[in-house]
Amino acid sequence: MLDKFGSIIIIGGLYGLVLWGALAYWALKDAQSRTENPTFHFFALGVNLLFPLLGLLVYVLVRPSVTLAEYRSLEMEAEALSHTASEENMRPCPACGREIEHDFVLCPYCQTRFAKRCPDCHKAVRLGWRLCPYCAATLEVAVPRAAAGQSRR
Ligand SMILES: [Zn+2]
Ligand SMILES: [Zn+2]
């Protein structure tokens, strides 16, 4: 009877030991994925070794909320967004070369008209296009005589 009780304590103790080590190891790995600061890694390991379970709770409360991988992807996303706003939305005017926005239908600087609005979806389409590439609406084509003569040659 006492032997059985003893073995239960040993098995329970072993489980506890494995759990204790695993939690401390997990906390260390988690800390490494969140910061490169070695002091914080030491804290994560130490608090979980000294105070099993309670230390884990404390660690989860104070750890950085974003992992390094998440932080990098957030940074990249912000960079991509600022690119779209500043550069990718702009293009040089085909006539005077000044930077204008992509969906402008005419250049506000030299007043050259190089596109028009689709009557259906109101996106900017080129003057020579017969169909709207966005909604497939038929467009009225007003090809300038000079350009038409050039394409026939
Ligand atoms: Zn222009
Ligand atoms: Zn359209």
pLDDT at 60: 92
Ligand 2 center to 88 CA (angstroms): 22
pLDDT at 128: 85
- Last residue in a domain, options 70, 100, 127: 70
Ligand 2 center to 121 CA (angstroms): 4
Which ligand places an atom closest to the C-alpha of 92?
A: 1
Say if residues 129 and 120 touch (Cβ distance below 8 Å).
Answer: no
The count of domains in the chain is 2
Evaluate whether residue 150 is within a structural domain. Answer: yes
Q: Residue 144 has which token pair?
A: 């300038």
CA-closest candidate to residue 136, choices 145, 151, 125: 125
Evaluate whether residue 35 is within a structural domain. Answer: yes
pLDDT at 85: 58
Evaluate whether residue 151 is within a structural domain. Answer: yes
Domain that holds residue 122: 114-153
- Last residue in a domain, options 70, 100, 129: 70
Ligand 2 center to 128 CA (angstroms): 14
The model carries a pTM of: 0.49
Ligand 2 center to 107 CA (angstroms): 21
pLDDT at 146: 53
Ligand 2 center to 129 CA (angstroms): 11
pLDDT at 1: 57
Q: Which residues of the chain have pLDDT under 70?
A: 1-2, 83-87, 141-153
pLDDT at 145: 54
